[in-house]
Amino acid sequence: MGAQERTQKEKLILESAIKLFMEKGFHATKMDDVAKGAKISKGLTYFYYKNKEDLYMAVTRKAFEGLKDVFREVFRSKGKNGMQMLVDLVQKYLDYSLQNRMYYDAILNFLGVLSLYNDENTRQKIDPLILESVHFQKLLDIHHDCGKFGIQMVSQGIKDGSIRPELQPEITFYTIWSMLIGYERLSGPVNYENKEIKIHIDNWKPGFIKLMQDMLKGTIQATKPNIVQGSLF
């Protein structure tokens, strides 16, 4: 079997799995169904992906690559300073999370698994089939790729004066990313009608962006930094 044919069969299996994960969820999806959807034998499906967990890690890897494309597109946009890039990123990130729900949930699931993986005392709680997945191992290598683009956006903002100079780019960006995850997770409660708090999804997003801008601009005139260590608050 040639490399091109192998790639095509892997693609068909992955597309079938994505469709089923979206329709039925991970637990209700069976490898038999994936094979039928791809019109490939069950045995050949297992040849390419050892089990459903391995397949889900492959889907998660694809999800991270898609999110990375969002970050790359924003960073490579022309004629924008670092602050403008981050504002654009907020919108495009939230759009990605809404338009690619299954992918985004897979990303958040991986981040949760990673929290267990980083602690020897909790690593044993992870399904061994996930740990054995070659795609899980690849994810360990690539999951910071999005962050690298975000850090460069903050660094560019410090350099061009749109972001206050005393901020540390890595801490700053990962704080922003955590805010974005929190925004997305809380959008349901905020959008729920029967609530007593006076907040609506339509005014929350511009308020969120303005707060981020104020946090990054600070109250001092940005100048070329001599020291990059500093806190956000």
Domains and CATH numbers, the chain: 1-49 (1.10.10.60), 51-217 (1.10.357.10)
Global pTM value: 0.87
Q: Torsion angle of alpha carbons 71, 18, 58, 62, nearest 10°?
A: -20
CB 37 within 8 A of CB 21: no
pLDDT in tens, 67-110: 999 999 999 999 999 999 999 999 999 999 999 999 999 999 99
pLDDT in tens, 155-193: 999 999 999 999 999 999 999 999 999 999 999 888 887
Q: Torsion angle of alpha carbons 197, 202, 204, 208, nearest 10°?
A: 180
For residue 48, the tally of other CB atoms under 10 A from its CB is: 18
pLDDT of 150 over the 80 cut: yes
Instruction: Name residue 72's amino acid.
Output: R
The predicted pLDDT at position 4 comes to: 82
Closest C-alpha among 151, 137, 140, 166 to residue 225: 166
The predicted pLDDT at position 199 comes to: 83
pLDDT of 222 over the 50 cut: no
d(CA 97, CA 108): 10
The predicted pLDDT at position 230 comes to: 55
The predicted pLDDT at position 191 comes to: 85
DSSP, collapsed to helix, strand or coil, labels residue 2 as coil
The CA–CA distances, whole Å, from 203 to 55, 152, 206 equal 39, 29, 6
The predicted pLDDT at position 202 comes to: 85
CB 35 within 8 A of CB 48: no
For residue 210, the tally of other CB atoms under 10 A from its CB is: 11
Q: What count of residues does the chain have?
A: 233
pLDDT in tens, 4-53: 888 899 999 999 999 999 999 999 999 999 999 999 999 999 999 999 99
pLDDT of 231 over the 70 cut: no
Closest C-alpha among 225, 87, 85 to residue 167: 225
Instruction: Name residue 208's amino acid.
Output: F
Structure tokens at 89: 């990123």
**Mean pLDDT across the chain, nearest whole number?**
91
Question: Who's near 6: CB < 8 A, 6+ residues apart?
Answer: 48
DSSP assignment letter at 140: H
pLDDT confidence of 229, banded at 50, 70, 90? low
